[in-house]
A and B are shown apart, each in its own frame.
Chain A
């Protein structure tokens, strides 16, 4: 009789699980995986007290090019991927003038020597943030490149926002409920939201102490972007180049961090 009861109970639990609404199971499993993944990558390093953590932060900062991001992209790559094309001179923003090489028959041309320097700086910054386990958010309001941006963010374990930006999305923290962590930096692949309008997230990042990296075409205002990269943001080739390069920089940063964490761990303990 005892056996029978146990069997009956186990059968009942099985029945419950298998007949539970499928949505709930999916959501919970996904959330579990998600939280596991984040626990690996996004825990803040204690800024004081832990000596090993401190050393991990300060050591790469002394090196001029710790992650070797300068090898990722050259001027020729930029030229072949049409980064030098700007907009027509009528739509030029006055603050983009120092980044321009000249004007060829009405079309602005970027100076790629300036662009490569800014891009290397931005890549170094992004790699450092990935090394420090910060959250990176890719932002681009575009129907054409939205999917590419989202897949790139997914492959390097970060986040993307490519849809309509609801005003105050980052600012209404109190209304969201629960524990929410804001992104540490935002990467803008295009600064334009609609036609001739700056992306709303630029101002929100400024309010919330979030540093920004942004691709600035010749018709946008680059002054509020922390690490601006002057370049074309309208062709698929150039966007592919930016995505590839940023993804590699993030992956290099994370890989270096994993290696460092493994060195610190005592032997015999499984790393998770």
Chain B
């Protein structure tokens, strides 16, 4: 291979290395890579300089600040109680979802959308019953959902 080059790929970026070779006239300008002009016209947001991952300390822990925020919604409380904690349910310790999801569900659509429909019902009741707290609203929504299911059957 006659074309000159630097094989230290971790120092600088691929563009800066090529640029320096051209500046020092080791690499003739006519033999520059085909992407060189395109890179110049449309540079990327960040110059692609290699950065290693920070190494772990003596305890094997990496000290990196976590800047990624958790994604949470207001209705997550309802969602968690539909699927998880049966404490707010008055179905003798059963989960409300156990009536709808799984073999109890009539079809796939009903099981898949149950949580979403429950949340819609909860929000609807929240507008009409301003005086109730979340737990009472949950029980009310639970009662209404069971009524709707009985009507359909």
- Chain A residues at the B interface, C-beta cutoff of 8 Å: 44, 47-48, 57-58, 61-62, 89, 92-95, 97-98, 100-104, 108-109, 117-118, 121, 124-125, 128-129, 132, 134, 173-174, 184-185, 203, 205-212, 221, 223-228
- In the complex, the answer to whether B68 meets A103 with C-beta atoms within 8 Å is yes
- In the complex, the answer to whether B35 meets A129 with C-beta atoms within 8 Å is yes
- In the complex, the answer to whether A226 meets B71 with C-beta atoms within 8 Å is no
- Ordered by A's residue number, 22 sampled pairs between the chains whose C-beta atoms are within 8 Å are A94-B64, A95-B53, A97-B66, A103-B71, A104-B70, A109-B71, A118-B44, A121-B44, A124-B42, A125-B39, A128-B38, A128-B42, A129-B38, A132-B38, A205-B14, A211-B14, A211-B33, A221-B53, A224-B9, A226-B13, A226-B14, A226-B48
Chain B interface residue number, banded: 35 or more
- In the complex, the answer to whether A134 meets B34 with C-beta atoms within 8 Å is yes
- Closest B-chain residue to A114, C-beta based? B45
Query: In the complex, A129 Cα to B42 Cα: how many Å?
Result: 12
CB 8 Å contact bits of B54-67 with A (1 = contact, 0 = none): 10000000101011
Query: In the complex, A8 Cα to B129 Cα: how many Å?
Result: 105
Residue from A108, A117, A121, A212 in contact with B42 in the complex, judged by beta carbons closer than 8 Å: A121
- In the complex, the answer to whether A102 meets B68 with C-beta atoms within 8 Å is yes
Query: In the complex, A208 Cα to B67 Cα: how many Å?
Result: 35
CB within 8 Å for A174 and B67 given contacts A44-B34, A129-B38, A224-B48: no
- In the complex, the answer to whether A102 meets B34 with C-beta atoms within 8 Å is no
CB within 8 Å for A211 and B39 given contacts A95-B53, A223-B48, A225-B48: yes
- In the complex, the answer to whether B18 meets A209 with C-beta atoms within 8 Å is yes
Residue from A47, A129, A205 in contact with B32 in the complex, judged by beta carbons closer than 8 Å: A47
Q: Which residues of B contact A226 (CB under 8 A)?
A: 13-15, 39, 44, 48
Task: Give B63 Cβ to nearest chain A Cβ, in Å.
Answer: 10
Q: Which residues of B contact A98 (CB under 8 A)?
A: 67
Q: Is the C-beta of B151 less than 8 angstroms from some C-beta in chain A?
A: no
Residue from A129, A173, A212, A223 in contact with B49 in the complex, judged by beta carbons closer than 8 Å: A223
Residue from A184, A206, A207 in contact with B34 in the complex, judged by beta carbons closer than 8 Å: A184
Task: Give B25 Cβ to nearest chain A Cβ, in Å.
Answer: 16
Task: Give B74 Cβ to nearest chain A Cβ, in Å.
Answer: 15
Query: In the complex, A126 Cα to B115 Cα: how many Å?
Result: 44
Q: Is the C-beta of B5 less than 8 angstroms from some C-beta in chain A?
A: yes
Q: Which residues of A contact B127 (CB under 8 A)?
A: none
CB within 8 Å for A210 and B34 given contacts A121-B44, A203-B9, A221-B53: no
- In the complex, the answer to whether A134 meets B1 with C-beta atoms within 8 Å is no
* Max count, chain A CB within 10 A of own CB: residue among B34, B49, B69: B34
CB within 8 Å for A184 and B71 given contacts A125-B42, A203-B9, A211-B14: no
CB 8 Å contact bits of B22-42 with A (1 = contact, 0 = none): 000000011011110111011
Residue from A93, A108, A185, A228 in contact with B35 in the complex, judged by beta carbons closer than 8 Å: A185
Q: Which residues of A contact B64 (CB under 8 A)?
A: 94
Q: Which residues of B contact A173 (CB under 8 A)?
A: 1
- In the complex, the answer to whether B71 meets A209 with C-beta atoms within 8 Å is no
- In the complex, the answer to whether B5 meets A125 with C-beta atoms within 8 Å is no
Q: Which residues of A contact B29 (CB under 8 A)?
A: 47
Task: Give B36 Cβ to nearest chain A Cβ, in Å.
Answer: 9
- In the complex, the answer to whether A89 meets B68 with C-beta atoms within 8 Å is yes
Q: Which residues of A contact B34 (CB under 8 A)?
A: 44, 129, 132, 134, 184
